[in-house]
Amino acid sequence: MQLDPRALHIYTDGSCYRNPGGSSGCAAIVQYPDHLGREDEQILDFGCSESSNNRMELLACIRALDWIRGNSPWSGVSRVQIITDSRYVDDNRSRAQMWRRNGWRNQHGEPVENSDLWKEFLSVSQKVGMTVHFEWTAGKKTPILKQIDKAAKNAAKRDGTDVDRGYRPGIVARSMVSGAATRFAAHGQMAIIRPYRKSVMRQGDDKVRFDVFSEEKGTYTESCYAYVTTALAAELHRQHGYRVRLDDNAKCPHILEILEEVVIPNRVTKRVP
């Protein structure tokens, strides 16, 4: 990460306890270049009762852009650098324009999560009025990074009166399989699943994360996700077992129907890595 000594530096961070759905918060601290002779200033302190870590990281960047728009220009400052430790923000900033052109679906046709905030991010980015560069850094490496981490966590702990109106809580339980859920390799087959998280999307499809149960092995083999209509999602209760039929779209898999409810173990002696 290269920091310009004559640029304005804004450090952002987000936090969520019991992610997703727990008390959440985000913060931003501005460091002025030496020639302005101004002390560091916390410009964002947002705390709400429920959201997600990714939403808080992205919201912090949006609010930083809003602040720049309302407070610039500064004498001798030609650009602002926004520093984030969020891979989610850093990896997806360049994709947001494509998502908008695709009706807020990704290259595989899947609905984009947090599209409300990405819309706001693109809108304020176009109106900010000066050059802004984003920089990714690993968190907690320097005093200022430790300070912004603490500020975001304090905002989340406070369980404040702010509200993330765009957050869709869904239903959350614990997966039986370690690791992040991956896209289900659909090819028109049947599968036995145990839903553990449902996310309400904005493009008509709910996203369901589930453990896949193998009757042959008698254990859970992987954690996956697929999409489902809102009506069908209401019939998929978390921690229950279902035999379902999927479509043959491996890039954007959909559960087409529930064939039957089945008995599956509520515990496993050893998690599948």
DSSP SS3 for 124? helix
pLDDT band at 273 (very low <50, low <70, confident <90, very high): very low
pLDDT in tens, 131-172: 999 999 998 889 999 999 999 999 999 878 899 999 987 767
Residue 91: the pLDDT is: 96
pLDDT in tens, 16-56: 998 888 999 999 999 999 999 999 999 999 999 999 999 99
Distances (CA, A) of 257 to 178, 194, 237: 27, 14, 14
CA atoms within 13 A on the CB side of 55: 29
Cis-peptide, bond into residue 265, ω within 30° of zero: no
Q: Which fold, 8-157?
A: Nucleotidyltransferase; domain 5 (3.30.420)
Cis-peptide, bond into residue 73, ω within 30° of zero: yes
Q: What CATH number belongs to 171-262? A: 2.40.50.140
Domain ranges of the chain: 8-157, 171-262
Choose among 155, 184, 180: nearest CA to 63. Answer: 155
Residue 118: the pLDDT is: 98
Give ∠ CA 23-70-61 in degrees, rounded to 5: 35
Distances (CA, A) of 99 to 106, 110, 129, 168, 246: 6, 10, 24, 20, 25
